[in-house]
A and B are shown apart, each in its own frame.
Chain A
Amino acid sequence: MTSTHRAYPWLAMGLMLAVCIAIVLSTGLGFIPITPAEVVRVIASRLTGDTGLTAGLDPVFSYVVLDVRLPRILAAVGVGAGLAICGVLFQGLLLNPLADPYTLGISSGAAFGASVALLADGTLLGHLPVPLFAFAGAMAALVVVLWLASHDGQLSANTLILSGVIVGAILAAGISFMKYLADEQVGVIVFWLMGSFAGRTWAQVGVVFATVLAGLLVAVYYGRDLNIIALGSRTSDSLGVETGRVRKILLVAASLLVGVCVSVSGIIGFIGLIVPHLMRMVAGPDNRRLTVVAALAGGLLLLMADTVTRAVLPAEVPIGVLTALIGGPFFCYIFRRRGAFHG
C-alpha cells in the first residue's frame, strides 16, 4: 500500500544481513586481530564439527573467537534486541513516545533487584538467582510508577516520565546504600551497574536469546491489538480488544525482558528509546513490523556501541555511559519536537 509497506521486507532482510556482518567483523576486532575470513572458518568449524576448516590457524584464534569474543558479542546483540522490543512495547502500551525501560525507572528497579541478589551472595541467604530478582525489581518499579502516574484511570505522558525519573532516583539511592553496606564487592557492582558485556558466558547468551525470542513472539502475536490500544482504551475495548488483559500480558513480558537484559549487562539506557523511534520513521508505526525491525536494529546498534568501547577506544568505557551520552541528547530532541506537535 504505502511506501513503508513495500520497503519492509527489504529493511528486515537488510538489517538481518547487517547484524550477521557486524558480528563477524566485530569478532575480528580487538587486541589480537583476526580477519573476517578466519572468523567465519572458526565458527563454521565449530558448527559443522569439521576440524579441517581451522587447519593452519593459530589455535588461540579458536579460543578467542568462541570463548572470549562471541559470547560477549551475542550477548550485546541479544540485549540490544531485548531493550528495543521493550521500548516498542512500553511506548505502545503507555501511548508515550518517550517511554523506555530506562526513562520509566524500570531498569533501575531491575538493577536494584539484581544488586540485592548479588550482595546476598556469600551471606546467610546464599546464592540467589539474579535474573529472577531483576525481574521482580522491574515489576515492582513498574507497578509503583504506574500507580504514581495514574489519576482516575488516566495516564498523562509527562507525569509518567516524571514518575519514572523519581522512582529511578529513589532506587539509585537504594543501590548506593547497598554499595555502602557491602564495600568489598563494590568494584564488581559499580562496573556492572554502568553496563558492560565483558566476560559474558554462553549460558547468559542462551538465557538472553530465549527470552528475547519469546518476547518477540508475544509482541508480534499481540501486535495488532497494540496498534489499536494506541487509539485509547475505550476505543480498543469497543473494537473487541481485551485491552486490560493484553496490557497486563505485554507489561509482564516487557518487565521480564528488562529483568533478563539488566541482569546480563547492567543498566543500558536509551536503546529502547532511540531504536523504536528511528525504525518507526522507516518502517511505519505498525507494531507487528516495528517489533521485528526494532529488535534487529537494537541488536545492531548495541553491538556497534559495545565494539567501540571494547576495540576502538583506548580504555574500556562502560557501555551504559556511551549509550547515555548518545541517547540523552536524542531524548531532548524528541521531547522538544513532541512539544511542538502537542501545542
Chain B
Amino acid sequence: MVENTGFLLHDVHFAYGDKAALRGVDLTLPLGRFYGVVGPNGCGKSTLLDVLMANRQPRQGRVLLDGAAVGHHGRRQLARQVALVPQDFAIPFAFTVLEVVLMGRHPYLPRFGTPTAADLDCAEQAMAALGIAELRERSVTGLSGGEKQRVVVARALAQDTPILLLDEATSNLDIRHTLEIFQVARERVRHGRTVIAVVHNLNLAAAYCDEMVFLDEGRVAAAGPTATTLTSTTIAEVFGVESRVARDDFCGTLQVSFRYGD
C-alpha cells in the first residue's frame, strides 16, 4: 500500500450502453496540485470524475487512489478523501444553508450522532471562506443561483477532504463569483490539498491550474504542466479552433486568444 500518492488511472474504459465515454485513459495525478480537465462537450470529463469517485465502475482498467482501487476504499472512507461539487444543484426542500453545509460532515458522523462542536466549526469555516456565513439560517430554496452554488461548494469544503473535484462548478456563476470559488480552491492547493476541476473556460484553467488534462473522445490528448500542454496545436487538435497562446502581462499567466472569424 502506497500512502498519499494520489490517483493513478491505467487503461480505463467506460461506456454508457454501447456508447463509449472513456477509451483507454492513462493518467497519473499526484497530490498537491490544481488540475484542469478540459475538452469538448461529451468528451468524457464528467464520466472521468465519476470514475475517480467510484460512482461508476470502469468496464476495463484500474483506478487507484493512494495505491488501492477506489472501489475498495468503501463509500464512507472515500467520502473522507474525495469531495465533489456537481454542476447541477437542485435542492427541492427548504433546508437551511447551515443544514446543507453540515451534510458535508455526514461521512464523519455515527448513524444517530449529532454534529459536534468540531463539525459546526468546520461548517462555519467553510461558509466564511465562501462569504455566506450571514446566510446561515436562510432556506436554500429562497437563494439566488449564485448563492446556492456557493452553498454547495461550502458543503464540499466542510467535507474536509484532501481531494476536491469540481465538475463545472462555476458554469452558472458570474465572473466575480467564479473567481472567488477558484481563489478558494487555489488557496486549498497552496495548503497541500488537491483540486481536480472540469473547466470549460480555457483562460480560467490557464490562470489557476498547475497541470491540464485534455480529453478528446474519451482519450487523453495531452496531459502535463499547463505551460507545456496548453498550446495552440493541442487546442486545434482537440477543439478544432484556431488560437494563440501567450503570456498575458495583466494576469501574469498564459492566456488564449481565439480567431473569432471575419
Q: Which residues of A pack against B, CB within 8 Å?
A: 1-2, 92, 95-97, 152, 157, 221, 224, 227-228, 230-232, 234-235, 237-242, 280, 284-286, 341
Contact = CB atoms under 8 A, between A and B. Distances in A.
A3 to B, nearest CB: 9
User: Which 8 A/B pairs are nearest by Cβ-Cβ distance?
Assistant: A240-B79, A285-B93, A240-B76, A238-B84, A240-B107, A240-B75, A239-B106, A237-B55
Interface of B: 16, 50, 53, 55, 75-80, 82-84, 86, 88-96, 98-100, 103-104, 106-107, 109, 111, 137, 141, 152, 155, 159, 165
Contact of A232 (B88, B94, B99, B104): B88
Contact of A95 (B55, B92, B155): B92
B92 A234 contact: no
Given A231-B89, A240-B78, 11 more contacts: A227-B95, A230-B93, A234-B55, A234-B86, A238-B82, A238-B165, A239-B106, A239-B159, A240-B80, A240-B106, A286-B99
B92 A230 contact: yes
Nearest to B86: A234
Contacts of A239: 79, 103-104, 106-107, 159
Q: Describe A's contact surface by its main secondary structure.
A: loop
Contacts of B98: 1
5 contacts: A1-B98, A96-B92, A235-B84, A235-B89, A286-B99
B223 to A, nearest CB: 24
Contact of A230 (B50, B95, B96): B95
Nearest to A1: B98
A232 B86 CA distance: 9
Contacts of A240: 75-80, 106-107
Contacts of A230: 91-93, 95
A189 B137 CA distance: 51
A234 B109 CA distance: 20
Contact of B53 (A1, A96, A238): A238
Q: Which of A95, A227, A230, A240 counts the most chain B CB atoms within 10 A?
A: A240
A328 B213 CA distance: 54
A92 B94 CA distance: 12
Contacts of B16: 152
Contacts of B99: 227, 286
A1 to B, nearest CB: 7
Contacts of A286: 95, 99
Contact of B103 (A221, A227, A280): A227
Nearest to A227: B103
Contacts of B137: 2
B95 A242 contact: no
Contacts of B159: 239
B53 A237 contact: yes
Contacts of A1: 98
A326 B234 CA distance: 64
Contact of B50 (A96, A228, A234, A341): A234
Contacts of B93: 92, 97, 230, 280, 285
Q: Which of A2, A227, A235, A284 counts the most chain B CB atoms within 10 A?
A: A235
A235 B88 CA distance: 10
Nearest to A242: B75
A284 B96 CA distance: 9
Contacts of A341: 141
Contact of A228 (B83, B84, B90, B103): B103
B83 A238 contact: yes
B94 A234 contact: no
Given A237-B53, A240-B78, A286-B99, A221 B89 contact: no
Contacts of B152: 231, 235
Contacts of B94: 280, 284-285
A239 B82 CA distance: 9
B239 to A, nearest CB: 25
A238 B155 CA distance: 11
A152 B221 CA distance: 27
A92 B109 CA distance: 21
B257 to A, nearest CB: 35
B122 to A, nearest CB: 14
Contact of B95 (A97, A238, A285): A285
Nearest to B84: A238
Nearest to A234: B86
Contacts of B155: 231
A231 B76 CA distance: 17
B95 A234 contact: no
Contacts of A242: 75
A332 to B, nearest CB: 19
Q: Which of B75, B109, B111 counts the most chain A CB atoms within 10 A?
A: B75
Given A239-B159, A280-B93, A285-B94, A231 B83 contact: no
B75 A241 contact: yes
Contacts of B106: 224, 228, 239-241
Q: Which of A96, A230, A232, A238 counts the most chain B CB atoms within 10 A?
A: A238
Nearest to B98: A1
Nearest to A231: B91
